[in-house]
Amino acid sequence: MIVIADSSALIALSICNCLPILEPLFGEIQVPTAVFKEVCIPGKPEAEILRTWLVLLCHIVIVPTLCVGTI
């Protein structure tokens, strides 16, 4: 399993048509909801391709927010 926590990696892989290599290499791919929303913004590079790929082949996961600075 791999969790992709950065939109830049997904966009770069999409641009070079390399998204299909992720599933054979890692099996299950999880993408945080925030990353999904960021890469699927209309007008962003590769947005439609990424939306289709993420919806069909990935698990969108909710990542809990960390409380920073609390004791």
Model pTM score: 0.75
User: What CA–CA distance (Å, rounded) separates 57 from 5?
Assistant: 16
Listing DSSP states for the chain in one string gives -EE---HHHHHHHHHTT-GGGHHHHHSSEEEEHHHHHHHTSTTSTTHHHHHHHHHHH-EEEPPPPP--S--
Question: Residue 53 corresponds to which tokens in the numbers above?
Answer: 């790929």
Q: For residues 34-54, b (16+ Cβ closer than 10 Å) or e, as one string? A: ebbebbbeeeeebbebbbebb
pLDDT (tens digit per residue) in 27-60: 888 888 888 889 999 999 899 999 999 888 877 7
pLDDT of residue 11: 93
